[in-house]
Structure 1
Amino acid sequence: MFDIGFLELLIVALIALIVLGPERLPTAIKVTAIWVGRIKRSFQNVRSEIERELNADEIRRDVHNAAVMDELKKAREDLEREVGSVRSDLQSATDDINAADKRNVQSADNPNDKG
């Protein structure tokens, strides 16, 4: 991550030993380790929180898409029902016209059958 080799770590440790001294160096290392652990846990918590939020957004989007699809399905069914109704009305009108045409043709063929 930081691209620090063994030699760099050794130099940092020697400088820390010179600056802090042998009495305070173990305490400084413990405190540093504690803070590094806390920072790692904080980053991990933030990361998991972001992943949960992204998952929640994805779930919300899926639910919304499902609701939209349900609305479209209902609209399609309503439209198909209306088309069926119009077709049956059209068929009834066509049948009425055909029946009227047959009566007109029959009455034209038999002029003596009036009433």
Structure 2
Amino acid sequence: MFDIGFWELLMIAVIGLVVLGPERLPGAIRSVQRTIAKVRAFGSKMEAEINHELRVKELHEHLKQIEATDDLDKLSPELKRSLKELQDAAASVQHPYAKEQEQVEEQKSSKDKGE
């Protein structure tokens, strides 16, 4: 990652030992390790989120291309089923809380009717 060899690590360790002393050096090493682990975890989370967003965008583009074609009636039933699944997935991504909102509105209307 940083392309550091054995001798460079040895020099860093000696300088750290001289500057920090033998009492504080192990604690400093642990804190550096924790920081590096947090940075790596953050990087992997960001990578996963970016990949997810790119995949969603790619699915939307494919869906728009399929919907743009005028030959939807000529598609096989399997492709129509796949198209329907893509449309449902796109709708769920665009409106993730729509079902919950409908349920809340139904509960409110049923309470209003009961009063």
Is the TM value for this pair above 0.5?
A: yes
Q: How far did residue 13 of structure 1 move?
A: 0.5
Instruction: Kindly report which structure 2 residues correspond to 1:1-115, keeping only aligned pairs within 5 A, or say none.
Output: 1-69=1-69, 72-73=70-71
CA RMSD of aligned residues (A): 1.7
Q: Deviations over 1:42-70 (max 9, x none)?
A: 0111111110111011100111111112x
Over the matched positions of the two proteins, sequence identity in percent amounts to 36
Q: Deviations over 1:75-108 (max 9, x none)?
A: 99xxxxxxxxxxxxxxxxxxxxxxxxxxxxxxxx
Structure 2: give runs of 5+ residues left out of the alignment. Answer: 75-115
For the pair shown, which has the larger CA radius of gyration, 1 or 2? 1
Q: How far did residue 73 of structure 1 move?
A: 2.0
- TM-aligned CA distance change 1:74 to 1:53, over 3 Å: closer
Q: Distance in 2 between matches of 1:42 and 1:74?
A: 43
TM-score normalised per structure 1: 0.60
- TM-aligned CA distance change 1:17 to 1:46, over 3 Å: same
Structure 1: give runs of 5+ residues left out of the alignment. Answer: 77-115
> Which structure 1 residue ranges, 4+ long, deviate > 4 Å from structure 2?
none
Q: Distance in 2 between matches of 1:74 and 1:31?
A: 60
TM-score normalised per structure 2: 0.60
Q: Distance in 1 between matches of 2:51 and 2:45?
A: 10
Q: How many residues are aligned here?
A: 74
Relative contact order, higher structure (CA 8 A, sep 6+): 2
